[in-house]
Amino acid sequence: MHTVTGTELLPERFHPRVEAGFMIKLFSGGQSVVAKAKDLSMAGLKLLSELRRVDDRVTIAIPLPGDREIVTQATVRRRSTNEVAVEFDQLDWEDMFALARFLTPRL
């Protein structure tokens, strides 16, 4: 979709994001990296990190404060110099409920 000026529009988000501010682990290319989660949604998260090299497919461990740790596969959707945005693969029911418990009071 394009505007009249030819600038590409970003798709509207289906899942709202909330500020996270806690550390997560990212596993990529046989290496483990600790990074700070900037924001989080039911569909993915954005990391603040200057990752030199990250695969298109990663494993992420998200220790939700006061709850369980979610470990899931994810696809890297966007990268910049100091941010990486990932989209989760399908989460199991327990992980979805834990994520909802974290997100709901912060919306």
Structural domains present in the chain? 18-106 (2.40.10.220)
- CA dihedral over 7, 75, 94, 107, signed as positive or negative: negative
Query: Which residues on adjacent β-strands are paired with residue 84?
Result: 47, 79
Query: In 3D, which of 8, 61, 11, 4 has the Cα closest to residue 35?
Result: 61
Arithmetic mean of pLDDT, 5-31: 78
Report the amino acid identity of residue 97: F
* Main-chain phi, psi angles of 97, to 5 degrees: -65, -40
Quote the mean pLDDT of the chain.
Answer: 88
Residue for token pair 């909802």: 100
Read off the pLDDT of residues 19-37 as tens digits, 9 standing for 90 and up: 999 999 999 988 999 999 9
Q: How sure is the predictor about 3, in pLDDT bands with cuts at 50, 70 and 90?
A: very low
What pTM was estimated for this model as a whole?
A: 0.82
Residue for token pair 């989080």: 40
